[in-house]
Amino acid sequence: MYLFKSVHQLNHFLKSFYSANQSIGFVPTMGALHQGHLSLMEASLAANDLSICSIFVNPTQFNESSDLEKYPRVPGLDIALLAEIGCDVLFMPPVTEIYPPGIQLASPIPPPSLINVMEGQFRPGHFEGVVQVVKRLLDITQPTRLYMGQKDYQQATIVQWMIENQKLPVELVVCPIEREKDGLAMSSRNVRLQAELRPIAATLYKTLEAVKIRLKADNIESLQHFAINQFRQAGLRPEYFEIINGYTLQPLSIIDTTDLVVACTAVWVGDVRLIDNMILQDPG
């Protein structure tokens, strides 16, 4: 596996792949890698001539500096995992390579209907930062395919918007959520969950499953009440639980059989914030 820290070195290396028209898969991450991240890399390795992973904890998408400071960083373990799985290139730039002092980066601003709901409502400025870093990383790597997780459903939808809005020549591949045995969605933040909080955290997935089963029989309002009550009874502190149109991210009030219906939620367990989602209805 090649490891590059500078844009210049990476670009120099990639030149021959571009000119030979080789396909490049790109997996952007913030490190502290787990099987969720590795599943994206596996998908990339299976479909492309060259696969690149980036590890960059992007300061512009953190609305709280304490969250940025607490974000887990384990570069040694990450390098070992990526080398073992067969990743071709790891790009691990310092902040000054992504945001060189004095450089003006033009990144598009997605519509408020996409960035001000759900995560955007509780993490102001978060998606502006995500769009900025993903655009910058795509400009640097110029991949054929970009791999992201359904775990961050709103993020994937916004990145798809950006690709279409900017007419970027890249295909977004959204990969399914990898979960622990108890259903908890894998996340770099899970390492901060104390053992006694794990069963409580698992209520998140169990509730999403129960909501999916009840979809046909219940209306949206009662499904929301049900989910919020389940969370509270288990000891989770919900921030939001929304049943949305999976394309527009707007809350649904009634469900049509042709709708892509997704439940998205964020809860606190102890001092750890968890997000999760489930596709409740996919008309295909």
Dist CA 264 CA 273 (whole Å)? 14
Long-range own/partner contacts, residues 123-126 (CB < 8 A, 24 or more apart):
123/63, 124/63, 125/60, 125/61, 125/63, 126/61, 126/62, 126/63
Tell which one of 186, 202, 208, 227 touches ligand AMP (CB under 6 A): 186
Number of residues forming the site for ligand AMP (CB under 6 A): 17
Q: Binding string to ligand AMP for residues 111 to 150, with x set by CB under 6 A, is what? A: -------------------------------------xx-
Catalytic annotation, residues: 37
> CA 204 → CA 63, 201, 234, 263, 277, distances in Å?
24, 6, 9, 11, 9
Among positions 90, 98, 134, 177, the unique one binding ligand AMP when judged by CB under 6 A: 177
- Using rule CB under 6 A, residue 40 touches ligand AMP: yes
Q: What is the dihedral of CA 67, 69, 74, 76, to 10 degrees?
A: 150
36-44, 131-139, 224-232, 251-259 -> range binding ligand AMP (CB under 6 A) = 36-44
For ligand AMP, which residue of 7, 17, 26, 29 counts as binding (CB under 6 A)? 29
Q: Which is nearer to ligand AMP, 141 or 187 (CB)?
A: 187
141 vs 224 by CB, closer to ligand AMP = 141
| Three-state secondary structure of 110-171 | CCHHHHCCCHHHHCCCHHHHHHHHHHHHHHHHCCCEEEEEHHHHHHHHHHHHHHHHCCCCCE
157 binds ligand AMP (CB under 6 A): no
Is 87 a binder of ligand AMP (CB under 6 A)? Answer: no
User: Which residues are at the interface with ligand AMP (CB under 6 A)?
Assistant: 29-30, 36-37, 39-40, 148-149, 151-152, 175, 177-178, 185-188
